[in-house]
Amino acid sequence: MTAQPQEPRWLTWARQLQAIAQDGLTYCENVFDRERYEMLRALSAEIFAAGSTTPLATIESLFDDQVGYATPKVDVRGAVFRQHKVLLVQEHSDGLWTLPGGWADPGLTPAENTVREVREESGYEVEPIKLALVHERSRHVDRPHPFSIYKLFFVCELVGGEGQTSIETDAVGFFGENDLPPLSLGRVTREQLLRMFAHWREPQLPTEFD
């Protein structure tokens, strides 16, 4: 079994402080308490910026946009297979490859979001047939992110469409288990892809979750 990445303590602390500050700003009514929570939010941004390569102004803007009770964000990914190969898209942002997917939109189910993401990023129409993995990002990826993220991986059946790129993707292709291209590891890891191959070959496998 592959060892889980150990998240740096500074990142855990920064994320927890941000969540406490966001919850406090959501529910507190005392003007002095609001000032303290704003200071706490600023401190969490400074910690994250100091420990990462992200500019402080970018982190402050990101944290300022967070309102309401702090909860994990949801990322969905679709694993689409054809002739023993999996569909991957090349991300425009970093030139690396990943399962098509992204942030889940409100008002759609996780499966509907997966269908939408695959269509938008690859041009293919799919039908999710199994929820294979539910991962907390930080348990599997050693690249810092300011928020907790739940990643949902669906095995999907190819039902139509044709390969085409989008404003987010530069290329679309199918790859074998032993012929994977350089991966965008913040989006999908080799280990996650290998588990998706396993679930595709053995549909009776139970859903894996953290």
Q: State how far the alpha carbon of 177 is from the alpha carbons of 88, 154, 183, in Å.
A: 12, 17, 13
- Tens digit of pLDDT per residue, the chain (210 long)? 455 677 789 999 999 999 999 999 999 999 999 999 999 999 999 999 999 989 999 999 999 999 999 999 999 999 999 999 999 999 999 999 999 999 999 999 999 999 999 999 999 999 999 999 999 999 998 888 899 999 999 999 999 999 999 999 999 999 999 999 999 999 999 999 999 999 999 999 999 999
- How far the first Cα of the chain sits from its last, in Å, is 14
Q: Where are the domains of the chain?
A: 9-64, 73-209
Residue 49 pLDDT: 94
C-alpha 205/C-alpha 120 separation (Å) is 29
Domain 73-209 grouped into CATH 2.50.20.10? no
Residue 123 pLDDT: 98
The conformational region for residue 131 under phi > 0 = left, psi -120 to 50 = alpha, else beta, is beta
C-alpha 205/C-alpha 24 separation (Å) is 42
Tokens of 31: 């003007």
Distance of CA 209 to the CA centre of its chain: 15
Residue 4 pLDDT: 67
Amino acid letter, residue 153? F
Residue 1 pLDDT: 45
